[in-house]
Structure 1
Amino acid sequence: MLIPYLMKVSLVLAVLTMAYRWLIQFETFSKLNRVLLWLNAVAAWTLPLISLPSWGPVQVQNEFHHSIPRVVGKLPALTQPIAAIQSEPFPSPGIAATTMTAADWITAIYFTGMIILAAYFLFQIGRLFLTVVKGNAERHADGTSIVHVSGSAPYSFFKWIVLDPSMHSGLALRNIIAHEAEHARQWHSADLLLAEIQRICLWFNPFAWIHQKLVQENLEYLADRAVLDNGFEKKQYQYNLLNTVMQARELPLTNSFAQSLLKKRIKMMNRKPSHYLVWVKYVAVIALVYISSAFVAPYREQIVELAPEVIRPLVKPLVGEVIASAGPERDSAASVSTKKDPTENPEDKEEVSAISQKENVMEPVSDTVQSPQVPKVKGVLLRNDTLYWTITPLMTWDDINALRKFVHEFGAELAVNKIQFDPFQEFITSISVLTQSSKRGSSGSGSREGDGEFSPIEGYSGYIRKDGIGMGQRPPAPLQMEMEKDYQAALAIKKGKEVDFFEKKLFSSIGPNSGGSIDEGFFDGNGNKGLLERKGFGKSAQNTLLFTEKNANAEFYINTKRSTREEASKLTIDKVKKISYREDNQHKTYFIIYTK
């Protein structure tokens, strides 16, 4: 009965995990979320072992359970005979032999997968302990031990914090240690280990993997929030996080300051506290624990009778013993015929013809509209039996997927072999496309690049019809106008972010070293004095920028133009929008001053 029990566990875990993911994942009550994730796991493993009807109104539960088969039986998918499932017995071999049953094979496959994952799990544990033993440990008063390992990305495992101090600046190192110390103090490694053990036991269930990822994400949110609550500056902390992520090579089973959840973590740090009304969501998820009794008891009889006869021997042990066989008054809609349809056509065995390559040039098209059909999909135009498509620089992944879906429904395929966006994900800078007609076997490919670095593509287009495909030439006027409109809008975005792109290019050449950015409002706060002492720049008494002798050898840019320290110091604060700075390996600082 092990496999049936695990299937029940998997089903309950799937329901509770998806409820958490849809309703709770991004709520800011991270401590409560941690408890809820534990509750989901405990409920999944215990509900199949508990007699649930005694928890509440038995009559209500029974009415709920008995109504499910009738509703399911009326669905169109179950009112038609399932011809693919045959009830004829398989021919038995002439010579009797001892063979493994299907249940034996399933059990063997399950244990094989579990043993492989368990062995890898033990290997990971051993490697972690070996790293800790070989490293140079530094014991702290709070019980944590900082283990110095050359070249290691920062991570923690229970009370051990592993890192290479030489890879980080002073402030970044303090942020990292504070983050990992919170993981250690709150025993986050226990959550990770238990989630890993559950994943090993339910390796066949994708929701066990999703649950583990949700646990990992929530632990990072908890540590980030604790660090910020202890007084660390948010923007500097996020910047250090970005730098560390770029250097990191994460290890499994550990809590890492550089966990590659960058976008989600920054989003959670900047998120406003959840409103108290979201407690309704938590009540809904907890209510699902009760409702999950529907998956383990007591409508076992109805499930068995609803299943086709050929698979009832497999369903019966899954849901438990059947109390009684179905009577003649059972709804006929709930039964599924397993007899072969005598009118069923034989399987189509048409051979696939060889793929005929079409020339990779789009035929010129007339702008005269003949019975145009304009679907509600960006970048698509139908004319008679021809589908014209275009990918504009402002199309998102959702737009492209909608286009691909429409092409698929038309009887062809469109695959994106490569796509690149600008660093701020505003527009497409490069794309490579492959199209193939499933009816005729025609295929073609092509690509388009922007005119320069961080430049948008003008667009890329093609057509698909019954007798072939084409790619690369000018599309019909409606799509051409849409493509040109998006291209001009993308150029405007690039122009508006000219300084941001310049900063990205300059700082990328310097490398992921110490740096940060200061908004205009920072100079009016209490941080101006500390900024002058630490970084050598800030606001002067004359309300202008001030760069001390500490930055005598620094390199200055006002927007995208090279400048000097003297010229930069003449800018009044009211003209400054933002200052970004980065220090290279020779401790030379580069300043980019954004002006209004």
Structure 2
Amino acid sequence: MKISPLFSQRPERFAFVNRFGSRFLKNRIRMMNQKTKYRWSWPVYVFLFAITGLVTTMAAVEKRNRTTQPLVLKKETPERAVAKVSSRVKPASFRAEPAAAVLAESSGKEAEIGLIALDSAKTVAEEKSDAVERKSRYVVQKGEVLYWVLTPKMSFNELIELKQTIEKASLYTFDFNTIKFDPFQLYIDAIGVTIHQEKGGSGSASDGDENDKPIQSIGGYLSTTERGSLSIGKMTGDLPAVLEQLAKDDEKAVEALFAENRMAYFIAKQRKVFSGGTTTVKGDWLRDNPGRRNEGLGVFINAENRLQLYHPENVTVIINGREMNPSEVAAMDPKQLHTVIVTDVRDEAAGPGRKKRYIQLFESQPLEESR
């Protein structure tokens, strides 16, 4: 067997096993005995997972942004429709006739489709402008216009919500000059509103007087753009149907509340307030207990079915808010007596321990008189 000179000179280059020297073995044993360190392994995996998710999300967003835009149908004019149909007619059959004749001689289906699209097609912008978006209970938006309404049934919090909604969605400032509720806080009986824009238009409206009647609904609209118009005033039927119906419902509910509490409103308006002990009794109780005498009630129904005072002296009689002569009490119809309010006030001028008595009598009032 012939041996190559290269192999004979450097046989270690052709070794087929590892060299297990003492130094190599010591290093290997030292590496095997070391404890594995996992402290940085999990953070690295978490970081790589987050990077992968971020890249995937950005790719999805970019893909969505590259999708084709929705097709916008343009409303064609009759001239353009005629031109399109006539262009489909072969030159050989073309004749200089009116547009109606050209439409009639062209393809029936094509003409029919063109006319339908001309009459009924709406652009996306038009459909969007027709949609009514509710911003709050009393504010809606239609396109670039805000519509709002004030009704007598609104609470104070609802008034503040309306103001904030309008000022957030437009460049206008919405201020209340006057807000007055009824004595029982059930409805608004006086209000004043001012709308203005810096270097722009302004408007105001108010309703309510001293008769404590509920206000009539006030409404209006204003533009959400920098340059736009506004309107404010009593309800005229120009608002969206949802606000018109809401105003009618609120006014109807307030009318029912007013009718139910009409005597309470009448008494609260006509009653005189004195500093002293007060006793209140309903006319029904006096009618159910005729002849029952109680000095603290001030009056009673006698055997002749007439109202009578216990002590006419040092007594001031007030009937339906007006001071009357004590003799007028006997002329009142007991069936019409609704409420009696008796107030005893100290009268030092008349003597030590003396009191002056005020007796207020209220008769049942018809609805139209109580208003």
**The TM-score by the shorter chain falls in which range?**
0.3 to 0.5
Task: Return the structure number with greater strand share.
Answer: 2
More relative contact order, 1 or 2 (CA 8 Å, 6+ apart): 1
Task: Return the structure number with greater helix share.
Answer: 1
Which structure has the greater CA radius of gyration? Answer: 2
